[in-house]
Amino acid sequence: MTRRSMIQALNEALHQIMAAHPEVFCLGEDIGRMGGDFGVTRGLWERFGPERVRDTPLSEAAIIGAAVGAGMVGMRPVAEIMIADHITTCYDQIVNNAAKLHYMFNGQFKAPIVIRTATGGGFGGGPHHSQSIEGWFMNVPGLVIVAPSNPADAKGLLAAAILSDNPVLFLEHKALYGLKGEVPEELYTVPLGRAHVARVGRDATVIATMRMVVDALAVAAELAPEGLEVEVIDLRTLRPWDHQTVLASVAKTGRAVVAMEGPRLGGPAAEISATLSEALFGQLLAPVQRLGALDAPIPMAPVLEQALLPGRSHLAAALRAVMLGASEAAHV
């Protein structure tokens, strides 16, 4: 084990898997000599050369279009969309080409591509650089959505995503890039579609991803002296999400808070809470609470952004609400 930041863990995964698999190459804006806007591709251009680490024009549609074509002929492209908000300009390539390719051609072609992108708010980036985009893609058959919360998972999940034959949207929360943790030095994979019980508890379950997992673990530690033992489930993969692990946890605790940074309307929190209510209605001791952002564009001003995005105080309030059996959401 070596202590790594999430940026370093992702970078190490790319170095190791590109060395082991010559069909893997990277493409995106400023990923070559510059090493990427956040430094995730640092050193790849010098090691593997411009053929395998390709700087592209400022055209997200061209990046993903080229990646889809490369995947069809046997390559495994890792495409970087610098900021997740800009993925709207290549939405058609992802949804109507990459996700449907295997089905439309009856298995003759596949799109083993990974789309890495920096998501999330909390840094004053404003409405065009701070959105949580997972809800935009949750109902797209054929697409996998991965969302790590720590460096060790980030490295293993990225390796698994690159080796997968499915198109994978790989979300990297900007607020977690500097988060450090113990990471195995060797190349390894973390299974896609499998959640992780990040903390064991008996009284209530928090289901979360990315930054909200970090917040959930902190809140659980704060509430433990009050006698409230919170179980924290890190989904890790949003599509397909791990029904078995989540349902087993909530069946045990009888209470659930689904905590996501994105808007509550139409997002993964809505899907998960609906599934819990359908499957465990008679076993729930309180209504499922959904925690998410307010229904508004994300402001530039930090104080307004903090008011809009869910945080630890909102999560603590939601957990206290489910313990009381209350039905009022903590952040709507």
Q: Which residue has the tokens 């959105």?
A: 131
Same domain, 95 and 134: yes
Q: What angle do CA 98, 133, 104 make, to 5 degrees?
A: 15
At 332 the pLDDT is 45
Same domain, 138 and 244: no
What are the pLDDT digits (tens) for 109-156?
999 999 999 999 988 899 999 999 999 999 999 999 999 999 999 999
At 327 the pLDDT is 54
Asked if the structure places residue 71 within a domain, the reply is yes
Could you tell me which of 280, 192, 275 has the C-alpha nearest to residue 237? Answer: 192
Q: How many domains does the chain have?
A: 2
Which positions of the chain have pLDDT values less than 50? 329-330, 332
Residue ending a domain, among 183, 207, 232, is 183
Helices and strands: H and E segment counts in the chain? 11, 14
How far is CA 94 from each of CA 2, 99, 311, rounded to the nearest angstrom?
Answer: 35, 6, 31
At 326 the pLDDT is 61
Could you tell me which of 291, 292, 304, 288 has the C-alpha nearest to residue 249? Answer: 288
Please give the Cα distance from 171 to 208 (Å, whole number): 14
Q: What is the pTM of this model?
A: 0.95
User: CA Rg, the chain, in Å?
Assistant: 20
Could you tell me which of 147, 145, 319, 146 has the C-alpha nearest to residue 232? Answer: 319
At 123 the pLDDT is 87
E strand or H helix that includes residue 47: helix 44-48
Same domain, 165 and 203: no
Same domain, 149 and 107: yes
Please give the Cα distance from 190 to 161 (Å, whole number): 9
Please give the Cα distance from 39 to 218 (Å, whole number): 28
At 58 the pLDDT is 93
Beta strands per DSSP E along 48-165: 53-55, 76-83, 114-119, 144-146
3-state secondary structure 270-322: HHHHHHHHHHHCCCCCCCCEEEEECCCCCCCCHHHHHHHCCCHHHHHHHHHHH
Structural contact between residues 308 and 294, judged by C-beta atoms closer than 8 angstroms: yes
Q: State the CATH number of the domain containing residue 128.
A: 3.40.50.970
Sheet holding 144-146, edge to edge: 53-55, 24-28, 76-83, 114-119, 168-173, 144-146, 237-239
Same domain, 20 and 146: yes
Domain hosting 146: range is 2-183
DSSP output for 133-164: -GGGTTT-TT-EEE---SHHHHHHHHHHHHHS
Quick one: the chain helix, strand, coil %, rounded to 5?
40, 20, 40
From the number of C-beta atoms within 10 Å of its C-beta (0-12, 13-18, 19+), residue 225 rates as exposed
Same domain, 173 and 210: no
Same domain, 156 and 216: no
Same domain, 70 and 137: yes
Same domain, 170 and 208: no
User: Helix, strand, or coil here: 208?
Assistant: strand
Q: Name beta bridge partners: 25.
A: 77
Same domain, 149 and 29: yes
Asked if the structure places residue 296 within a domain, the reply is yes
At 273 the pLDDT is 96
Structural contact between residues 38 and 6, judged by C-beta atoms closer than 8 angstroms: no
Q: State the CATH number of the domain containing residue 317.
A: 3.40.50.920
**Residue numbers annotated as active site:** 129
Beta strands per DSSP E along 142-255: 144-146, 168-173, 180-183, 196-199, 204-208, 230-234, 237-239
Same domain, 105 and 231: no
Q: How many C-beta neighbours within 10 Å does residue 123 have?
A: 12
Asked if the structure places residue 235 within a domain, the reply is yes
Same domain, 156 and 279: no
Q: Which residue has the tokens 């072609």?
A: 109
